[in-house]
Structure 1
Amino acid sequence: MRDAVVVADVHTPADVHGVHAAKGHSRWTCLARRTGLYGGWEAVEWAWLPPGGVSGEHLHSRTEELYFLLSGRGEITLDGRPHAVRAGDTVLTGLGTRHGLRNTGRRPLAWLVVELTATPAPKEQPVNGHRSTVVRDLRGHGPLDASTVLTGPLRTVRLTQLPPGGGTAIDAHGEEHTVFVTGGTGTARATGSHVSVARGTSLTLPLGTSAWLNAGPEGIEFFHAALDVPEDQS
């Protein structure tokens, strides 16, 4: 259904062995997928690695991808170049880029994955992998305009904090949205229903829907990504 807000959480992930041809164990769950949305999403996912775990290097030949680090520390390799990453960092990986992720810390590493359709460059302007990647501390440096790096429909990526009792509206008009609670608790009201939200809860809003998010007594923090969708696609 494309007329309902999708609510999901990370509490029952699947066990995965050998992710992207790497040895070892990981965990994964899908929070939303393109069949329930109008825009150029492939999927919104949650992934997890134990200390020392690896998500193997792979080439993005068809899609673009965003990683948002939720917890832990690691090292991401972008076209052979290693970059240290930690909770709060966002990594944008454009078309034609190869990347892989390793947990270098003592605690589990968890991250969000937003995979998207891409717009290939003309043959006379081949994609340069090093120009289509960025590592950004989203918590420390504020919102990121993904369109300055990626070719597809992903737009603003941000972390939002609401004080205790604070609220905000999220309207999917000309855009679709995915929200993931990173801290605190609250409630979400959408399509006449109220649901409790806490760390690990996601909301994904198809075109034409809306939700009101209200913070609980300790406030709430959430990751928020917006994707451009022309209204005529509905």
Structure 2
Amino acid sequence: MRRTVILADTRAPADVHGVHGTEGLTQWACLARRVGLNGAWEAVEWARIPPGGVSGEHRHTRTEEVYVLLAGHGEITLDGRPHPVRAGDAVLTGLGTRHGLRNLGTRPLEWLVIEMPAAPAPVPATVPAPRAPVLHHAVVTNLRRIGPVDPRIVLTGPLRLLEADSLPYGGRLPLRADRVEHTLFVTGGSGRAAIGDDVRVPLVPGRCLTLPLGSRALVVAGVDGLSYVHAELLAPAGPEPEGGGSR
């Protein structure tokens, strides 16, 4: 069966007030969610807060979350400890980590959100011992400076690769969703995606391309190159690939 990709963009975000109990405006767009995907995605989202804006502190009890900062700079609080963040940084928050984000700059702060369920706790074979406390853990890294991240350094769920990269003019990135599903968010430049044999889709900043299991796409950079954030999530239809996903 032929599978088509999911296309979304940030051109018409929703205005949301009081996110996570905090006063103020957040602009938000859902780019992909579980419907139509095989992998255990919760959602891929984009958000923006104005200068001085806050995305309130909160704790996830079921899902793990990744923030990739796209523009601006600010401060993220992780279990009560503040950490400076700016464009290019990625924040991986494990199950139970309390986190909130504040814009400290003079321009809007934008970020990409990838949320997925944590792995279920193993079922004990004998009478269970008293339940251990949830480990609170998080990592802040810079994808542009440090390079690709294997999310398993923090997360227990199905996310297998997180990277920020770019292609020069004419550069190509083949994506095949054989054992993983892909999401690619364009952060700069331009290009196109060839989907199957007959569909060509322009790629511009703010556009997101998500590939369900069984689909494929060829990403080609335009004259000014193409910059993007790319993530791979293990899908349940095949064995886990060695060293990340397949391309």
User: Fold match, TM over 0.5?
Assistant: yes
Tell me the TM-score normalized by structure 2: 0.90
Task: Show CA shifts across 1:73-130 (max 9, x none).
Answer: 010001111000000000001101110000011110000000101114456443311x
Q: 2:7 corresponds to which residue?
A: 7
Q: 2:188 corresponds to which residue?
A: 183
State the alpha-carbon separation in 1 of the partners of residues 187 and 112 from structure 2. Answer: 11
Report how many aligned residue pairs link the two structures. Answer: 231
Equivalences for residues 205-220 of structure 1 within 5 A: 205-220=211-226
CA RMSD after TM alignment: 1.6
5+ residue gaps in structure 2?
123-129, 240-247
Letter matched to residue 127 of structure 1: V
Letter matched to residue 35 of structure 1: V
State the alpha-carbon separation in 1 of the partners of residues 181 and 193 from structure 2. Answer: 17
Q: 2:77 corresponds to which residue?
A: 77
Say if 1:188 and 1:212, in contact at 8 Å, map to a contact too. Answer: yes
Tell me the TM-score normalized by structure 1: 0.95
- The 4+ residue runs of structure 1 with deviation greater than 2 A are 120-127
1:5 Cα offset (Å): 0.3
1:168 Cα offset (Å): 1.4
State the alpha-carbon separation in 1 of the partners of residues 209 and 22 from structure 2. Answer: 30
| SS of match in other structure, 2:144 | helix
Say if 1:188 and 1:194, in contact at 8 Å, map to a contact too. Answer: yes
User: Which of 142, 151, 157 is matched with 2:162 structurally?
Assistant: 157
Percentage of matched positions with identical amino acids: 58
Equivalences for residues 112-131 of structure 1 within 5 A: 112-121=112-121, 124-129=131-136
Say if 2:77 and 2:101, in contact at 8 Å, map to a contact too. Answer: yes
5+ residue gaps in structure 1?
none
Larger Rg: 2
| SS of match in other structure, 1:45 | strand
Say if 2:190 and 2:203, in contact at 8 Å, map to a contact too. Answer: yes
Q: 2:200 corresponds to which residue?
A: 194
Letter matched to residue 176 of structure 2: D
Letter matched to residue 211 of structure 1: A
State the alpha-carbon separation in 1 of the partners of residues 222 and 186 from structure 2. Answer: 12
